[in-house]
């Protein structure tokens, strides 16, 4: 580790060594809420702080520093974090020297106000300011307030090698873009994570190589809007139009990045999330079809089945355009799995709009879905200009109807795999039985099967004998040729 290097390099006397060893014992306890990007950001933070002698711990009671990476996407997410802060308060009463920092979207949204509202907090750091953490920690030690919520034009943490937290040792996240320029009217992300920037493909490939060297078998390329990835030498996506002719001619888009990753690492499974229908180019689908190691799974949030509501949400496509995209995807990759995000009860949603959402679900029959009632977020265009006018009981009833239908479709899709033989990447022991492995198919469906002599990280062809609503149950046939 870098901190050990410090001991070797500056080995000038016993006192220094003792100091450093003491420093190495600093304990960092981290929790992440919200999206996969937050999880990956926490891994970046753990890496930055490991250089400062912090080791991570899973025991909050022994922590010198507690960092919580927060989510603002819905009001409920913020309430969960406020509750968590109460728990930290209880621990701090026993361990008064423990410092507490908030990172991520809530930190960015609430800024200094967060320090005033929650007395337990010592440190507030937004998503683009993690490199400043070492300085900010010194500020707290000197008894000063420590807040950095400056959003960046070019920060991608491309050179930071994440410390994998809670990892199964098999799959890992690799960030490829930060921020979002889409401005969906309901969404707080463009305000908390700033403008869209893409990461240098060379640093992406280097990170995947490092994961491969550590025996990882699957990566998920992460971004708020991966289809919008565009590398032209750095900086904000919006500045591409002013880039030099050379930069424009040599720019790399998402389908090219996918192709580069899949070609360079043919033995690794490649996933990506999240796709936005308005930015998804057909080249991406063709690239998926071309490489067997790019998983046949797309998370393609739609948010509503009503063109009127999509327009109010500033999603740049109609219901019909989305359906055409789905048809094309199924035509090019017939055995692909598709999942959705839905927002139920957005401003102005009528019963007819709700029926449109139900009929879109019926049309696509998604493999999975993530469905939530609309939660107004302060400062967003919807909060400023529209009325959150669907009563809570109506939102809840519509949500229940949508969840019931999605469950039927999930079961339908899972059932269709019974009798087939599918490649599974073994991730670990099944939660319910130590005699079974669990792992996922290319389509991202969970499979459990008897362990035999297979081990974690193996690709195994499994014959599917049965299923529950979300899990396939099978027996191993043989090693896949992809090992």
Residues that bind ligand SAH (CB under 6 A): 73-74, 186-187, 189, 224-225, 274, 276, 301, 303, 341, 343, 372, 374-375, 377
Query: Which CB, 180 or 285, lies closer to ligand SAH?
Result: 180
How far apart are the C-alpha atoms of 157 and 155, rounded to whole Å? 6
- Total interface residues for ligand F3S by CB under 6 A: 10
Q: Which does 343 bind (CB under 5 to 8 A by kind): ligand F3S, ligand SAH, none?
A: ligand SAH
Which residue in 189, 285, 338, 467 binds ligand F3S (CB under 6 A)?
A: 189
Which residue in 184, 302, 424, 448 binds ligand F3S (CB under 6 A)?
A: 184
How far apart are the C-alpha atoms of 422 and 440, rounded to whole Å? 9
Residue 332 beta carbon to ligand SAH: minimum distance, rounded to whole angstroms: 21
Which residue in 175, 276, 406, 443 binds ligand F3S (CB under 6 A)?
A: 276
Which CB contacts under 8 angstroms, 24+ apart, belong to 85-91?
85/118, 85/120, 85/121, 88/60, 88/120, 89/120, 91/60, 91/61, 91/63, 91/66
Q: Which CA distances in Å does 277 have to 232, 273, 325?
A: 23, 12, 8
Residue length of the chain: 483
Count of H helices and E strands in the chain? 17, 21
Query: Which CB, 47 or 275, lies closer to ligand F3S?
Result: 275
How far apart are the C-alpha atoms of 284 and 389, rounded to whole Å? 38
How far apart are the C-alpha atoms of 369 and 446, rounded to whole Å? 15
**Is residue 187 involved in binding ligand F3S (CB under 6 A)?**
yes
Query: Which CB, 37 or 146, lies closer to ligand F3S?
Result: 37
Question: Of the ranges 180-188, 365-373, 376-384, 404-412, which one interacts with ligand F3S (CB under 6 A)?
Answer: 180-188
Asked whether 425 and 218 are in contact (CB, 8 A), the reply is yes
Cis ω for the linkage preceding 274 (within 30 of 0)? yes
Q: Is 105 exposed, middle or buried (0-12, 13-18, 19+ CB in 10 A)?
A: buried
The residues pairing with 173 across neighbouring beta strands, listed in sequence order, are 220
Residue 110 beta carbon to ligand F3S: minimum distance, rounded to whole angstroms: 19
Task: Tell me the two tokens of residue 135.
Answer: 């300085």
Residue 22 beta carbon to ligand SAH: minimum distance, rounded to whole angstroms: 42
Query: Which CB, 126 or 301, lies closer to ligand SAH?
Result: 301
How far apart are the C-alpha atoms of 357 and 371, rounded to whole Å? 12
Q: Which does 74 bind (CB under 5 to 8 A by kind): ligand F3S, ligand SAH, none?
A: ligand SAH
Instruction: Give the footprint of ligand F3S on residues 219-238 (CB under 6 A).
Output: 224-225
Residue 37 beta carbon to ligand F3S: minimum distance, rounded to whole angstroms: 10
Query: Which CB, 349 or 423, lies closer to ligand SAH?
Result: 349
Q: Which does 347 bind (CB under 5 to 8 A by kind): ligand F3S, ligand SAH, none?
A: none
Query: Which CB, 49 or 187, lies closer to ligand F3S?
Result: 187
Task: Kindly list the residues in this chain that would bind ligand F3S in the complex (CB under 6 A).
Answer: 180, 182-184, 187, 189-190, 224-225, 276
């Amino acid at each position: 580790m870098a901190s050990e290097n410090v001991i070797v390099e500056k080995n000038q006397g016993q006192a220094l060594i003792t100091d450093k060893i003491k420093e190495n014992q600093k304990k960092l306890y981290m929790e992440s809420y919200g999206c996969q990007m937050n999880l990956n950001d926490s891994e970046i933070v753990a890496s930055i702080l490991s250089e400062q002698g912090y080791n991570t711990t899973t025991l909050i009671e022994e922590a010198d520093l507690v960092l919580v990476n927060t989510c603002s996407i819905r009001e409920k997410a913020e309430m969960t974090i406020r509750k968590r802060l109460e728990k930290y308060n209880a621990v701090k009463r026993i361990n008064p020297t423990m410092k507490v920092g908030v990172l991520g979207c809530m930190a960015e949204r609430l800024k200094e106000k967060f320090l005033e509202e929650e007395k337990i907090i010592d440190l507030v750091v937004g998503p683009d300011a993690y490199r400043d953490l070492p300085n900010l920690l010194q500020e707290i030690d000197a008894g000063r307030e420590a807040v950095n919520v400056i959003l960046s034009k070019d920060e991608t943490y491309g050179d930071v090698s994440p410390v994998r937290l809670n990892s199964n040792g098999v799959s890992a996240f690799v960030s490829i873009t930060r921020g979002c320029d889409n401005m969906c009217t309901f969404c707080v992300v463009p305000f908390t994570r700033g403008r869209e920037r893409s990461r240098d493909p060379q640093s992406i490939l280097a990170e995947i190589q490092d994961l491969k060297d550590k025996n990882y078998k699957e990566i998920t390329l992460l971004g708020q809007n991966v289809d919008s990835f565009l590398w032209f030498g750095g900086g904000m996506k919006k500045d591409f139009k002013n880039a030099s002719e050379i930069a424009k001619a040599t720019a790399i888009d998402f389908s090219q990045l996918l192709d580069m990753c899949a070609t360079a690492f043919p033995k690794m499974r490649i996933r990506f999330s999240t796709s936005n229908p308005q930015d998804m180019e057909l080249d991406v689908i063709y690239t998926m079809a071309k490489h067997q190691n790019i998983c046949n799974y797309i998370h393609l949030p739609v948010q509503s089945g009503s063109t009127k509501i999509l327009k109010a949400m500033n999603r740049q496509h109609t219901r019909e355009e989305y359906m055409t995209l789905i048809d094309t995807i199924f035509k090019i990759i017939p055995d692909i799995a598709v999942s959705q995000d839905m927002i139920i009860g957005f401003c102005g949603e009528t019963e007819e709009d709700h029926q449109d959402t139900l009929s879109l679900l019926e049309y696509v029959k998604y493999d999975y879905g993530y469905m939530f009632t609309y939660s107004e977020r302060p400062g967003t265009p919807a909060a400023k200009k529209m009325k959150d006018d669907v009563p809570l009981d109506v939102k809840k009833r519509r949500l229940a109807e949508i969840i019931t239908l999605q469950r039927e479709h999930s079961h339908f899709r899972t059932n269709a795999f019974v009798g087939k033989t599918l490649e599974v990447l073994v991730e670990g022991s099944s939660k319910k039985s130590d005699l079974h492995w669990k792992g996922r198919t290319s389509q991202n469906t969970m499979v459990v099967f008897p362990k035999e002599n297979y081990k974690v990280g193996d690709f195994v062809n499994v014959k599917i004998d049965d299923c529950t609503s979300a899990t396939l149950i099978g027996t191993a046939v043989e090693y896949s040729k992809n090992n």
